[in-house]
Amino acid sequence: MHSVRRVRSTAEAQALKKKREAGKIVDYKKQVEKVLLERSKANHTAEALQLTTSLLRLNPEYYTIWNYRREILSLGLFVGIEDEEIQSIIDKELTFLFDCLREHPKCYWIWNHRQWCLNTAAKPSWKLELGLVTKMLEYDARNFHGWWYRRYVVQSMETATGISMTRKEFDYTTSKINANFSNFSAWHNRTKLIPRLLIEEPDIDARDFLGKEIYFITQAMYTDPDDQSVWLYHRWLVTSNDIVNLEPIERKALLGKEIKSIEELLEVEPDSKWCLHSLAFYKTYLANLLQEQVDLTVEGYLDKLEKIDSMRRHRYQDWKKEIADR
């Protein structure tokens, strides 16, 4: 009997939940219709702004409503008033956006609208924005929206002050990576900062710097050989000229050293997809550099990758065919 009552209660609860959800959908559609109607009438009043606020709290992904919101501000509320008054409206807008970001930290349109507000403001507080995005990255250090926004804020601060923040931002990526190696956005940001750092600090020995970065990333590779982000950064270090333009003989030596290091890791992690993939890539890359035949071990790596990464087996088959057709 107890089980019967529980099933009946659950069925009733589910029916009630569906009814409530249906009611919410009806209310949402009514709000959408009302806001779009006001836009069609070119209503750019404070009342129209409030309508968009209510709707965007329900669905911040509705980019058309963000566009309408900007129309209300630029064609309505900002017209005929002084910069200080515009700044006051923007400050309120930024507060609203902060509330939205706390609930939806990975919504493109919220970040985009915040950028628009700051570009429109007469006196944007870049220091405040840097503090905000730093706080956001404390909650989620891998939020790539936050990293993108941080680059925008830093660039704006540098433009406003004429002072480079390259070294500080480079050290910031180091701290974030040391906290968690698996942070693709931090590694990516590093690739943007290093070329600037080497220009701004000409006393840095580029070859020595490259060696230290490879040592740093190797620690991450050995810590978590399944993390794609560290392998992508390693490939950037080994194959690009962004740090130092290596002579062919230097590149060959570097590739040989890194191949040996990865082979040693593969002995410990024989089923590591990224060890196998990187060895196949680097040995193919080295053969192309030297205009030689690809090492025979590459085919074995690709055969194993077909098994452990079967969803991409056709990619590995094409790779083997390209090698055979050389």
Whether residue 3 is found in the same domain as residue 112: yes
Domain boundary among 104, 122, 140: 122
Residue 52 located in a structural domain: yes
Domain boundary among 122, 149, 179: 122
Whether residue 282 is found in the same domain as residue 303: yes
251: containing domain: 246-326
Q: Is the dihedral of CA 111, 115, 118, 120 positive or negative?
A: negative
Percent of the chain with pLDDT over 70: 94
Task: Quote the number of domains for the chain.
Answer: 3
Per-residue confidence (pLDDT) for residue 16, from 0 to 100: 63
pLDDT in tens, 172-222: 999 999 999 999 999 999 999 999 999 999 999 999 999 999 999 999 999
Whether residue 113 is found in the same domain as residue 133: no
Whether residue 106 is found in the same domain as residue 1: yes
| Angle CA 212–221–315, to nearest 5 | 120
pLDDT string in tens for the chain (326-residue length) = 444 444 455 776 676 666 566 657 889 999 999 999 999 999 999 999 999 999 999 999 999 999 999 999 999 999 999 999 999 999 999 999 999 999 999 999 999 999 999 999 999 999 999 999 999 999 999 999 999 999 999 999 999 999 999 999 999 999 999 999 999 999 999 999 999 999 999 999 999 999 999 999 999 999 999 999 999 999 999 999 999 999 999 999 999 999 999 999 999 999 999 999 999 999 999 999 999 999 999 999 999 999 999 999 999 999 999 998 87
Per-residue confidence (pLDDT) for residue 154, from 0 to 100: 98
| Residue that is written with structure tokens 């690009």 in the block | 240
Percent of the chain with pLDDT over 90: 90
Residue 237 located in a structural domain: no
Residue 46 located in a structural domain: yes
Whether residue 59 is found in the same domain as residue 140: no
Q: Is the dihedral of CA 130, 131, 136, 139 positive or negative?
A: positive
Whether residue 115 is found in the same domain as residue 157: no
Residue 228 located in a structural domain: no
Q: What is the C-alpha separation between 20 and 30, in angstroms, rounded? A: 15
- Cα-only R_g, the chain: 27
Instruction: Read off the CATH number of the domain in which 309 is found.
Output: 1.25.40
Whether residue 134 is found in the same domain as residue 165: yes
Domain boundary among 72, 102, 122: 122
Per-residue confidence (pLDDT) for residue 23, from 0 to 100: 57
Instruction: Read off the CATH number of the domain in which 29 is found.
Output: 1.25.40.120
Whether residue 95 is found in the same domain as residue 3: yes
Whether residue 16 is found in the same domain as residue 106: yes
Q: Cα–Cα distances in Å, from 283 out to 5, 112, 119, 202, 312?
A: 67, 42, 48, 33, 20
Residue 225 located in a structural domain: no
Whether residue 299 is found in the same domain as residue 266: yes
| Contact (CB, 8 A) for 185 and 147 | yes
Q: What is the C-alpha separation between 53 and 322, in angstroms, rounded? A: 55
Backbone angles phi, psi at 136, to 5 degrees: -60, -40
Whether residue 61 is found in the same domain as residue 171: no
Question: To the nearest whole number, what is the mean pLDDT of the chain?
Answer: 93
pTM for this prediction: 0.87
Per-residue confidence (pLDDT) for residue 22, from 0 to 100: 61
Say how many C-beta atoms besides its own lie within 10 A of residue 34's C-beta.
Answer: 14
Whether residue 113 is found in the same domain as residue 130: no
